[in-house]
Amino acid sequence: MPEVVAGATALRTGTIAERCEVIGMDFFNEIPEGGDAYVMKAVVHDWNDEAALKILKKLPACHSQ
C-alpha cells in the first residue's frame, strides 16, 4: 500500500534509485508487469496458504527466450 512504501527510503537514494521503482498498491488486486524482479520481502509468510497462492498467482509470468 502507498503508506507502506513511504518508508522505502533506501531504494530512493544512491545508484540503486536509478535502477528501481517503488510502487504502492494492493497485491491482491494487481501487480504491475514489466519488472525484472519483484521483491516481496516479509510478505508471503504472513498469509495462509490460500492467500499466499493468490498473491503469487498475480505475479507476471516469467518468459525466457
Looking at 19, 41, 45, 63, which residue is catalytic?
45
Active site residue 63: no
What is each CA distance from 55 to 6, 25, 35, 64, in whole angstroms?
21, 12, 16, 22
**Enzyme catalytic residues:** 45
